[in-house]
Amino acid sequence: MGKKLFRNVEMLLAEIDASEGNEKMLEDIVHLLVESDDMVALGIVSGRLYRERENDYELIVSVSGHGPGITGKTVSKDYKVVQEIERHRLYVISPETPGFDAELEAQFSDVDSAAILVGRDPAYILSLGIRHHGSEDELLVLLETLRAAVGMKLRQQALASQMKQAGEIQASLLPAHMPELPGFEIAAVTRPAEEVGGDVYDVQKVEEGVLAIMVADASGHGLPAALQARDVVIGMRMGQTENEKITAAVRRMNRVIHGSGLTSRFISMFYGELEDTGNFIYVNGGHVPPLVLTPGGEAFELKTGGPVLGPLPDAVYRRNYVNLRPGEVMVIFTDGVTERERTDGPADSDGRREFGREGLIDLVSGMLDRPARDIARAVMDEVVAFGSGRPLEDDATVLVIRRLTAEDYPPAEGLVRLGGPHRR
């Protein structure tokens, strides 16, 4: 009886929308328990929900029985029955119950009742009017099943709320608006595999004419990865504030992650500083190599750096630089982009079942004259489509830097543009 009953109650509670908070969810549960045919068959004929206050419990919902007209009534915490409910968290109430006050109870119900204590800060008492013709053991099984199912629903809601808050915190770390750098366009798109993810990007102004750019990917996904990614964003911003050299900032971040005690976790990071001259100094900390694509059809990888951050406390990181010329596009991405798999249909002519580096190069090479935001969105759309639209297996992020050409600047009225773009 217990397992089948629990499954039935769990299925009923799955219909409850928890998006409006715990109290509204509990109100809906009271209605469901009283009005569902399955629960009526078990003898539940009325229900009430009481909210904890400092010295008493206030009735906030009354379904059937005496109806909603009795809401607002209170029961003192000094009442012995309430004290027993708080002590046992599940209690059967009848005229034979020690301390039973018939006059007080008559204000709320004219049938035997059972009460379940759920939640905390505030706690709630879910009280049910039950006409039960079975044994007391069967009644206790019913009540314990209801308490377990409602408790699980509350825990699920609490976890969902925490994940939502974590997602909001993570989103708040992303640049609300991309800093501008004359002669360049920068755009980024990120999509977590779960409510929150381990991918993160950042673009910050370091000084006049210089932007710090970072894309990082914590191992795994979900809340633990998101927390680690958050720490990396904050840590690298601290280094920018203190004007650390990029290799020193990456080494310090590596030691911090190693010292966190999460030895089973690591994070890859690509970090660089872009100057308005087109010079880009970078360090690649075990990250999938970004690509620089040229109008001439060439593609270069930016590999120089060191290992992923975390496992090795004394890891050495080297820097390198590249000059981004007019018309060239840099694409910084996470492996959730290139490792997106095709699960249906045949592989391509090369036997490729992953979106891969080749798929990314093919797509972006045909869009070098398009705005950076269009390129970033197109990459993410293609990654989703490549997997037939199913949810992502891993977090995916793409950040695009495009250096503008002379054609991107319309000539002022009355002037004629002469010659092509100046290339350094």
pLDDT 10s digits, 10-45:
555 555 555 556 788 788 888 877 887 766 666 788
Question: Are residue 180 and residue 161 in the same domain, yes or no?
Answer: no
Regarding whether 188 and 138 lie in a shared domain, the answer is no
Q: What is the pLDDT of residue 418?
A: 37
Q: Same domain for 126 and 64?
A: yes
Is it the case that residue 159 has pLDDT exceeding 80? no
Of the candidates 228, 284, 237, 283, the one whose C-alpha atom is nearest the C-alpha of residue 256 is 228
DSSP state of 407: G
* Domain membership of residue 192 as a residue range: 174-408
The chain-wide mean pLDDT, for the chain, equals 81
Does residue 1 carry a pLDDT above 50? no
Please give the pLDDT value at position 350. Answer: 56
pLDDT confidence of residue 38: 65
pTM to 2 decimal places: 0.63
Look up tokens 């270069």; give the residue.
Answer: 300
More confident residue, 166 or 121: 121
The larger pLDDT score, comparing residue 23 to residue 338, is at 338
Taking residues 58-78, report their average pLDDT. 92
Please say whether the beta carbons of 360 and 331 come within 8 A. yes
Q: Which residue has the higher pLDDT, 93 or 268?
A: 268
Would residue 419 count as lying in a domain?
no
* 73 or 266: which leads in pLDDT: 73
pLDDT in tens, 218-270: 876 566 666 777 778 888 888 777 777 899 999 998 888 888 765 446 889 99
User: pLDDT: is 98 or 133 the higher one?
Assistant: 98
Residues 206, 288, single domain; the answer is: yes
pLDDT attached to residue 260: 72
CATH of the domain at 227: 3.60.40.10
Task: Decide if pLDDT at 351 tops 60.
Answer: no
Whether residues 152 and 198 fall in one domain: no
- Predicted local confidence at residue 9, as pLDDT: 56
* Per-residue pLDDT at 132: 62
Confidence of residue 287 (pLDDT cuts 50, 70, 90): very high
> Exposed/middle/buried for 423, CB within 10 Å: 0-12, 13-18, 19+?
exposed
pLDDT at 415 (0 to 100): 41
> What is the rounded CA–CA span in Å between residue 392 and residue 383?
9
User: For the domain that residue 73 is a member of, what is the CATH number?
Assistant: 3.30.450.40
Quick one: average pLDDT of 383-391? 86
113-118/291-293 β-pairing: unpaired
Residue 20: what pLDDT?
59
Residues facing residue 125 across a β-bridge: 50, 117
Question: Is 424 within the bounds of a domain?
Answer: no
Q: How many domains does the chain have?
A: 2
Q: What is the mean pLDDT of residues 342-353?
A: 61
